[in-house]
Every structure is written in structure tokens, then in C-alpha cells.
Amino acid sequence: MAAMASPFAPALPPPSAQQQPPPSLELATTVTQLLPPPPLGGFDASAADPGTLTLYLVLHHDDAVTSQQVGFVSYRHVTPWKTGVIGLRQDPQEARQRYFQVFNEKNQQANLVLFKLVFSSAGIARLTTEKTNAEHDFLPKLHKVKYARQDKDWGVWHFVGDLSLTSPETMTWSWSRMEETP
């Protein structure tokens, strides 16, 4: 009597298809040839950390000075609405345009300051996993904004709450006056 194959057992391929040739070493050597050798000591101080995130924010000069004195950027300086969120942009010109859209102060461009915020990889890891309270739907402190039904990446990030300027392990920052031209 011949044994019946179980309907639950997977069908085995023919023996010739089961035998695979050993992986080629040619591919492995090609991949290692593409990778640059690590720098001496394992760290290259001249290279930018590829895990950083650079975002921009435009503030009025008086608000920028106040932020520097108190050690944080208050969300109240960034938006007239009581949202508790600071909108950051990946492009400095987009940050500038957003400031003009929100405050409608084209005549005061000489009093504007561009903040450049560089988040370290450790800072990104901490801030994108640290949750906020129920008022902000437990969103991460720093999160990328994706608008519904839009394929375009607008380069918008939101920081929930006041943005501390006193934690260099998380973020470094610099600011400069905006140019006179719109």
C-alpha cells in the first residue's frame, strides 16, 4: 500500500532544484570594494554625522534674543495660535515663507533671525520616541508631518512644547540675521 501525501505538508521541489550552488564570492568582494575604509581611530571628526537632522526656524529678533537668554524657544513666539507646537522646516527659504504666512510682516524682514537647529542622531532617537501628554494626543516630541492625501513631502517637522537650547547632546544651534531681500 502506497503512503499518501498529507494535504498539510508542503510539496517538496524535485531534488535537482533543492541543490543550490554556493554563494559567489565575487559579489562580496564587489560590495567591500564600494565601501570606503574606516578612518584611523574609527572616527572622522571632519565628516558630518550622517545621522543628523538640520531644521530651520525664523523668529523676530527680539524673540530670538529672549530665547537665547532663557535657554529655550517658546512655542508662543512661533505661532499666534495656542497649539503648543513649533513648526520647523528642512529648507531655510521655506521657514522664511512660513513666517511671513503666519505673521504677515513682510515690512519687518530686517528684524528677522534664522535659527539653524542640528539634531544629533541621539537627539533624534530620544525626541522621536519621547511621547507628549494627552493634550497633544501622545505624539512624539519631534515628528515629521505628512499631510493626508498629498504625495509631496513639504519638509515640515513639528516640535511639541518649548524647544530647549541647552542640551548639546541632543541639538546644536546657531542663528543669523535674515537677508534684506524677500
pLDDT tens, position by position, 14-53: 555 555 555 544 444 444 344 444 333 333 334 456 788 9
Cell of 100: 511671513
pLDDT of the residue at 179: 64
pLDDT tens, position by position, 54-89: 999 998 888 888 988 999 998 887 777 767 889 999
* Average model confidence (pLDDT) across the chain: 74
Is CATH 2.60.120 the classification given to domain 53-177? no
Amino acid occupying residue 31: V
Whole-number Å distance between alpha carbons of 167 and 161: 15
Whole-number Å distance between alpha carbons of 86 and 161: 7
Whole-number Å distance between alpha carbons of 179 and 127: 31
Whole-number Å distance between alpha carbons of 81 and 107: 22
DSSP conformation letters of 18-76 = H-PPPPPHHHHHHHHHHSPPPPGGG--TTSPPTT-EEEEEEEEHHHHHHHHHHTEE-HH
CB environment 155-182: b (16+ within 10 A), e (fewer): ebbbbbebbebeeeebbbbebeebeeee
* Mean pLDDT (whole number) for 157-165: 89
Terminal-residue alpha carbon distance, the chain: 90
* Mean pLDDT (whole number) for 156-164: 89
